A and B are shown apart, each in its own frame.
Chain A
């Protein structure tokens, strides 16, 4: 088995009920990369992410994290694999019964045996990195959408996971805070050696940040490559996303 790949998808089919959303997905992601996943709204980005973090079992194919088949392992070892992963969902998914600080301390309390005082420091550091340390005492209902996103990212990152999945981290952020987030992802990769998988609509972030980009269209992966090569791609779907031109379907329907 090729053990170097951190994430490996082999011929994966995922969907809801009997309806497949993505088919024939093959993908390898190595250590220390920032990989962005782009695609139109409804193209299956969140679906792919849910399959990669063990929440949506594929109808066919295999999803491997750290060289182990995620859906074939027993629940306990799946838990151990997943504890090395941080996830930011498209909705912030903060625990509404806990303060911001308790939210960010939660992974430390559950997954490590560090003393509480250390966990608290870790949490505060991570909150400060994302510029939301002053919100520590608030409840999730008392902060804005963009702040909640950053708190949720702090919770995902607090234990320095080897693998970080983020679903649209900048969707409710102003450009300045989006840049803060960009620096955070670079720090994760460069200082911590983490691999970051970013689902995003933010093309600026794709161009400046990602080592590789995966483009989803028409029920599967339609292109993979560095942003620079994809920029020059002939593929209409890729062009559409990179240059904001109409998609292939709409061009065909106009011709018809």
Chain B
């Protein structure tokens, strides 16, 4: 079959030749004699046509090209397109992802151990440790988060008190509402709301910072100086976050109670009695549980975000991926730790 070309319009040419190819000729001859010149797009189109028709069993022959067109065709390099490796089977991809999980877990364990050693070393004072970095991080994490944490838990205390009050009033037991809010805040709500706040703003920030440093080879510079990025970058952040979480959690407890108190004062003429009940029933143990939880939350958030930051790969995408993963992993692990600690504590009582 012969096709005469006088100009190459990529889309229509591909389309036209594919229609010709449906008749399954053995050879398709393209007559180029009317082409006076050809550019890269023209060559690329001819190559694409040839490759595509050859795949459907049609050989393509070019002829009649002017010397000028011949020269351009001959001088344009003709590389093979990339070969995609065959798709792995189900078993193989399952095996691969198991292996990836396992080696990720080992890397995480390595990092946690190194961070623990680094932290212990800093506390014992065996190595010079930059406490200045901790202070800097404290400012970054704590100062800005404080008003937000206080506001969030104030509002939470308010809402909790309101909703519980309605139910309790129905049964005539509204005098315990404030106590419920106070203990709930101290034991669980305040640490949790602080953790959610840090997981959504501090964790992505840490992950993005570390990931950028990894990408810019800043961490390689540290490694070459014999300084471990985990000790130098992760440990100060861990210290800072484990100081920030309990402090914020205590403040959040107080402002949550304040929110509850406001509603109680408004709704309950005997609010003084309710307040005294709360003070009598709340123990140091409640505050202690909240503090233990928030320290653990801090560690979990710090480690999750450091790990995702250091191990999310290179490239512009990886910073976004690291930040997203850090937030999701932090929240998930905070909830897991929360349920474990709460269960253990309740069983131990």
Contacts and interface: CB of A to CB of B under 8 A. Distances in A.
Interface in B183-222: 212-213, 216-218, 220-221
Contacts of A78: 226
Contacts of A85: 224
A105 to B, nearest CB: 13
Contact of A82 (B216, B217, B226): B226
Interface stretch (A86-94, A172-180, A227-235, A236-244): A86-94
B225 A111 contact: yes
A83 B225 contact: yes
A2 interface: no
Q: Interface residues of A: mostly helix, strand, loop or mixed?
A: mixed
A255 interface: no
B221 A110 contact: no
Interface residues of A, number: 22
A96 B216 contact: yes
Given A87-B221, A93-B221, A95-B221, A80 B226 contact: yes
Contacts of A75: 228
Contacts, number: 47
Nearest to B217: A93
Nearest to A56: B220
A108 B212 CA distance: 24
A85 to B, nearest CB: 7
A91 B225 contact: no
A55 interface: yes
B88 to A, nearest CB: 15
Interface residues of B, number: 13
Contacts of B227: 79, 110
Contacts of B223: 54-55, 82
B225 A95 contact: no
A55 B217 CA distance: 11
Contacts of B220: 55, 89, 93
Contact of A107 (B212, B218, B225): B225
A82 B224 contact: yes
Contact of B216 (A54, A91, A107, A110): A91
B221 A79 contact: no
Nearest to A98: B218
A26 B41 CA distance: 47
Interface string A12-35: 000000000000000000000000
A93 B229 CA distance: 14
A72 B212 CA distance: 30
Interface in A58-89: 75, 78-83, 85, 87, 89
A89 B221 contact: yes
A95 B210 CA distance: 11
B125 to A, nearest CB: 15
A53 interface: yes
Contact of B217 (A54, A81, A91, A111): A91
A82 B225 contact: yes
B224 A87 contact: yes
Contact of A53 (B213, B218, B224): B224
Contacts of A107: 225
A195 to B, nearest CB: 16
A247 B216 CA distance: 33
Interface of B: 212-213, 216-218, 220-221, 223-228
Given A55-B223, A75-B228, 6 more contacts: A53-B224, A54-B223, A55-B220, A93-B217, A93-B220, A93-B221
Report the 4 A-B pairs with minimum CB-CB distance, sorted nearest first: A79-B226, A93-B217, A82-B226, A87-B224
26 contacts: A55-B220, A55-B223, A75-B228, A78-B226, A79-B226, A79-B227, A79-B228, A82-B223, A82-B224, A87-B224, A89-B217, A89-B220, A89-B221, A91-B216, A93-B216, A93-B220, A93-B221, A94-B218, A96-B213, A96-B216, A96-B218, A107-B225, A110-B225, A111-B225, A111-B226, A155-B221
Interface of A: 53-55, 75, 78-83, 85, 87, 89, 91, 93-96, 107, 110-111, 155
